[in-house]
Amino acid sequence: MVVLLFLGTIGLLGLSVLTFVIGAAQRSKLLAAIGGATAVGVATAYFIVLCALSLLSSDVVLPPGGWKVICEIDCHTWYSVVGTRTASTLGPEMQQTSAREQFVIVKLKTWFK
- Tens of pLDDT, residues 25-47: 999 999 999 999 999 999 999 99
pLDDT tens digits along 83-96: 889 999 988 988 88
- Looking at the structure, tell me whether residues 45 and 75 fall in a common domain: no
- Looking at the structure, tell me whether residues 73 and 51 fall in a common domain: no
Domain that holds residue 74: 67-112
Torsion of CA 29, 30, 32, 36, to 10 degrees: 130
Residue 79 lies in a domain: yes
Residue 62 lies in a domain: no
Residue 34 lies in a domain: yes
Residue 104 lies in a domain: yes
Amino acid at site 39: A
pTM attached to this predicted model: 0.62
Longest dimension (CA), the chain: 67
Number of domains present in the structure of the chain: 2
Residue 42 lies in a domain: yes
Residue 99 lies in a domain: yes
- Looking at the structure, tell me whether residues 46 and 71 fall in a common domain: no
